[in-house]
Amino acid sequence: MNDEIIDSEARMLPNWRAAMPAANVVLRSVGNRVQPGAGKIRWCRLRAGEKHTDVLPPLFVPGKFIVVLADQPDDALILDVLAAGAAGCCNTHAAPEVLQQVALVVENGGLWVGQRLLQQLIGNTARILGQGATAESGSLLELLSERERQVARMVAGGASNKEIADRLAIAERTVKAHLTAIFEKTGVRDRLQLSLKINGAGR
């Protein structure tokens, strides 16, 4: 793979070379755009003291994935760079096997997250889900009253609040009240997310 490794110093590390012998280190300065190379993945080193908000934005280009190699990859940083659009984040000195694993996942369009952080996310989310909503639309809809179910299905079918109000012969305000209750019970934030959950869209 002809990936590039973007760093503020032009020094190839041994684990990088072992993982991707064909890659090149490309220099960057803060704030500067770097011309994309041929590979699908743009590896970007984040040194201690460098802010991802300064480093990453110029690097995002269509059709390329960014993987961050962080010198100090604490959980908050990892989540931040992933939330900012990076497809993975691991330690600058990660083993070549790990870097290759990251490359495979990311090249296939996946996101790569370290195991320990992922387990934390899973544990936290499993506990949250265990206390409340499930994602399956059947059991999701079971949380709702009869009228709420009716409104939820209509939203999932693409209807606006006004259309729902007209069809059910109720006020638009009433539709909004039902939706607010639906959002609270299901843990979704808006009608688009509700539709995705009910329709089972995605995987």
Partner DNA sequence: TTGCCTATTGCACCAAAGTACAGTTTTCAA
Partner DNA sequence: TTGAAAACTGTACTTTGGTGCAATAGGCAA
Q: Which CB, 90 or 144, lies closer to DNA?
A: 144
Kindly identify the residues of this chain, within the stretch 164-183, that bind DNA according to CB under 7 A. 168, 170-171, 173-174, 176-180, 183
Least distance in angstroms from the C-beta of 41 to a second copy: 13
CB of 130 to DNA, least distance (A): 16
Asked if residue 139 binds DNA (CB under 7 A), the reply is no
The CB-of-66 to DNA minimum distance in angstroms stands at 15
Binding mask 51-70 for DNA (x = CB under 7 A): -----------x--------
Binding mask 13-52 for DNA (x = CB under 7 A): ----------------------------------------
Query: What does the chain look like in DSSP terms, one character per residue?
Result: ---EEEESS----HHHHHH-TT-EEEE--TT------SSSEEEEEE-TT--HHHHSGGG--TT-EEEEEESS--HHHHHHHHHTT-SEEEETT--HHHHHHHHHHHHTT--B--HHHHHHHHHHHHHHHHHS--SSHHHHHHTS-HHHHHHHHHHHTT--HHHHHHHHTS-HHHHHHHHHHHHHHHT-SSHHHHHHHHHT---
Answer with the entry of DNA, a second copy, none that 173 interacts with (C-beta below 5 to 8 A by kind).
DNA
Query: Per CB under 7 A, which of residues 109..138 are in contact with DNA?
Result: none
Report residue 24: phi and psi, to 5°.
-120, 150
Which positions lie near DNA, rule CB under 7 A?
62, 145-148, 160-162, 168, 170-171, 173-174, 176-180, 183, 189-192
